[in-house]
């Protein structure tokens, strides 16, 4: 099995179909992305939409966002999803390692992410890749 990680630069039927399949595996409440929404995501400054192709098919995605703040350039990993048929085969690790490489190349001081405690395999992966659990409280205003 070969995992190819690449940056989405254009929106085509393959990308739209991949998100139609992957996004519901990430969130049951997420609104499906049409081509225009995907194009806006791909074109957004500081957003890096990484894709994983396995055996010719997009099997995973990760969104890396970089942004400047007064203490330096930061990077945040969001919306990591690997197709259930490809889990446990190194796809998530390959996506995350490439995100770290891209963030470091951009000059990010840190790379952050959050993961629900119930995502035990994902949490083990992040710790194995060097992420450290922080004593922090996450707040959200809906």
Q: What tens digit of pLDDT does each residue of 33-65 get?
A: 999 999 999 999 999 999 999 999 999 999 999
In tens, the pLDDT along 79-138 reads 999 999 999 999 999 999 999 999 999 999 999 999 989 989 999 999 999 999 999 888
Compute the distance between CA of residue 1 and CA of residue 72 in angstroms, rounded to an integer: 38
In tens, the pLDDT along 4-20 reads 999 999 999 999 999 99
72-82 vs 57-69, strand pairing mode: antiparallel
Domains of the chain in start order, with CATH, are 3-128 (3.40.630.30)
Structure tokens at 96: 């995350």
When pLDDT is cut at 50, 70 and 90, the band that residue 21 belongs to is very high
pTM for this entry:
0.94
How crowded is residue 29: how many other Cβ atoms within 10 Å of its Cβ? Answer: 5
When pLDDT is cut at 50, 70 and 90, the band that residue 1 belongs to is confident
Nearest CA to 60 among 104, 26, 11, 13? 26
pLDDT of residue 138: 85
DSSP 53: E
């Amino acid at each position: 099995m070969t995992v190819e990680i690449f940056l989405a630069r254009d929106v085509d039927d393959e990308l739209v179909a991949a998100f139609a399949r992957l996004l519901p595996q990430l969130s049951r409440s997420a609104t499906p992305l049409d081509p225009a929404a995907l194009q806006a995501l791909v074109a957004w400054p500081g957003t890096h939409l990484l894709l994983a192709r396995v055996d010719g098919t997009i099997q995973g995605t990760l969104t890396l966002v970089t942004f400047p703040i007064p203490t330096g350039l930061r990077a945040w990993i969001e919306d990591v999803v690997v197709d259930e048929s490809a889990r446990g085969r190194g796809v998530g690790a390959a996506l995350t390692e490439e995100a770290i490489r891209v963030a470091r190349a951009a000059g990010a001081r840190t790379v952050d992410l959050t993961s629900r405690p119930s995502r035990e395999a994902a949490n083990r992966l992040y710790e194995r890749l060097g992420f450290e659990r922080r004593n922090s409280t996450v707040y959200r205003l809906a």
